[in-house]
Structure 1
Amino acid sequence: MCEHCGCRGVPPIAELMDEHYALLEDAHAIRRALATGDRAGAMELVRRLAGHLEVHTRREEIGIFAAMREQGDFVDEVDLLEGEHRDLDGAIEDVDPASPEFDDRLRELLRDLSEHIDRENLGIFPVSVVSLGGRGWDLVEEARTALPTFMTGAPDTGPGAPR
């Protein structure tokens, strides 16, 4: 993930990016469970990931995505990203630990999640930093207040975090 665009200097965007780091950590934990053949553990971690994604994607959709859409900026990209949110939700719902394709489908889902996060971190987030006006940032803050991060109380582990 890039750090050169200034996104991390904008608290609402930095918080969403920190959530992305946490989601990628969730994905890594799932991969570790798969590597040891622990399907039950992987499913428990998938449920955790699903809960985190539910909060995170809702925050994006009622905040930054709504602000971009209201402003008329990059609406096609916002639509694509929201569609990917639905696709990820559907893929998670379809995960079946009894299926012989369980490991492969889960790995594919985690690859899709990683690509989606890159598209947001390297695309819509930097665009929002330079294009959103005051009303847009008000919407982002309203969403941030209405739906707090799933990381409340968790330390920031992303690049540049205090060590």
Structure 2
Amino acid sequence: MDEHYEMLDVSGRIRTLLVAGDLAGASTTLTELGRRLGPHAVREERGVFAALREQGDFAAEVLDLEADHRAFDEILAGLDPTAPEFEQRVRTFLADLSLHIDRENLGVFPVTVVTLDDDGWETVARAHADDPADTPVTR
């Protein structure tokens, strides 16, 4: 969840840049957000989401969250800072990302702490070992 808070902080910086009319700065900071979001999504999908699927838990929610990850990649790849709709598309993307993070932080993740068995936590640990984040896996 720490990575989520970091991404929300970056999102806040992007919003500030948009308010200031600094579209180039917003675009650069979006690139930074994308560099964080991509590896984070991979760790989630190979870790927590895979562990939940292995246990047969929350399959529909996991599929929806994974679909969001793919949509976020497509949106980021398609953003053009010179397009007239750039600012609105970025604002919509940031709102969608925030909602996605809430669904994970307030829904799937708290339940995961209670429901994952030892095999599930091993799956999570392997995902982080294969593509480590700055923070260790904790239960």
- The answer, yes or no, to whether TM exceeds 0.5 is yes
Root-mean-square deviation over aligned CA pairs: 0.9
Residue of structure 1 equivalent to 2:3: 19
- Partner Cα distance (1:144, 1:43) in 2: 29
Pairwise CA distance, 1:145 = 1.1
1:111 partnered with 2:127 = no
Residue of structure 1 equivalent to 2:116: 132
Task: Report which structure shows greater RCO (CA 8 Å, sep ≥6).
Answer: 1
1:89 partnered with 2:82 = no
Pairwise CA distance, 1:148 = 1.1
Which one-letter code corresponds to 2:85 in the other structure?
A: E
| Structure 2 unpaired stretches of 5+ | none
1:51 partnered with 2:35 = yes
- Partner Cα distance (2:132, 2:35) in 1: 13
Pairwise CA distance, 1:130 = 1.1
Cα distance per residue 1:49-98 (max 9 Å; x no partner): 00000111011000000000111111111000000111111111111111
Pairwise CA distance, 1:134 = 0.7
1:38 partnered with 2:40 = no
1:121 partnered with 2:66 = no
Residue of structure 2 equivalent to 1:159: none
Residue of structure 1 equivalent to 2:56: 72
Pairwise CA distance, 1:127 = 1.2
Number of positions where the alignment pairs a residue of Structure 1 with one of Structure 2: 135
The structure richer in helix per residue is: 2
Identity of aligned residues (%): 50
Runs of 4+ in 1 over 4 A off after TM superposition: none
What TM-score results when the alignment is normalised by the length of structure 2?
0.94
